[in-house]
Amino acid sequence: MLPTELAHLKDTQNEPDHRQIPIDRVGIKNLRYPMRILNKSGGEQHTVATVALTVDLPEQFKGTHMSRFVEALHDCGPDLHVDSVRDLLEKLVERLHSECSHVTFTFPYFIQKAAPVSGKKGLIDYNITFDATLKRGEFDLVTIVTVPVATLCPCSKSISERGAHNQRGEVNFAVRTSTPVWVEDLIQLVEQSASCELYSVLKRPDEKAVTERAYDNPVFVEDLVRNVAVRANAEESILWYKVEAENFESIHNHNAYALIEHSKPATSGPAVS
Say if 200 falls within a structural domain: yes
* pTM score: 0.89
Predicted confidence at residue 273, as pLDDT, reads: 42
Residue 73 above 70 pLDDT?
Answer: yes
Specify the amino acid at residue 140: D
What b/e readout covers 157-174, taking b as 16+ CB neighbours within 10 angstroms? beeeeeebebbebbbbbb
Tally the domains of the chain: 1
* pLDDT bucket at 82, cuts 50 / 70 / 90: confident
> What's the confidence (pLDDT) of residue 268?
47
Give me the amino acid identity at 84. S
Asked, for residue 179, whether it belongs to a domain, the answer is: yes
Domain contains 6 = no
C-alpha dihedral over 118, 121, 122, 126, to 10 degrees?
100
Give 100-117 pLDDT, tens digit per residue: 999 999 999 999 999 999
| 265: confidence class by pLDDT, cuts 50, 70, 90 | confident
| Three-class HEC string of the chain | CCHHHHCCCCCHHHCECCCCCCEEEEEEEEEEEEEEEECCCCCEEEEEEEEEEEEEECCCECCCCHHHHHHHHHHHCCECCHHHHHHHHHHHHHHHCCCEEEEEEEEEEEEEEECCCCCCEEEEEEEEEEEEEEECCEEEEEEEEEEEEEEECHHHHHHCCCCCCEEEEEEEEEEEECCCCCHHHHHHHHHCCCCEECCCCCCHHHHHHHHHHHHHCCCCHHHHHHHHHHHHHHCCCEEEEEEEEEECCCCCCCCEEEEEEEECCCCCCCCCC
Q: What percent of the chain has pLDDT above 70?
A: 91
Instruction: Report the mean per-residue pLDDT for the chain.
Output: 91
pLDDT at position 6 is: 57
Q: Which domain holds residue 67?
A: 12-263
Residue 61 within any structural domain of the chain: yes
* 161 in a structural domain: yes
* CATH assignment at residue 44: 3.10.270.10
Q: What Rg, from alpha-carbon coordinates, does the chain have?
A: 23
pLDDT band at 31 (very low <50, low <70, confident <90, very high): very high
Q: Is residue 1 included in any domain, yes or no?
A: no
User: Is the residue at 162 inside a domain?
Assistant: yes
pLDDT above 90 covers what percent of the chain? 76
Taking the C-alpha atoms of 232, 235, 238 and 244 in order, what is their torsion angle to the nearest 10 degrees?
A: -10
Task: Write the pLDDT tens digit of every residue in 123-180.
Answer: 999 999 999 999 999 999 999 999 999 999 999 999 998 889 999 999 999 999 998 8
CA–CA separation, 172 and 128 (whole Å): 10
Separation of alpha carbons 44 and 59, rounded Å: 43
pLDDT digits (tens, 9 = 90+) for 199-238: 999 999 999 999 999 999 999 999 999 999 999 999 999 9
Higher pLDDT, 5 or 270: 5
Question: For residue 184, is it within any domain?
Answer: yes
CA atoms of 225 and 230, how far apart (whole Å): 9
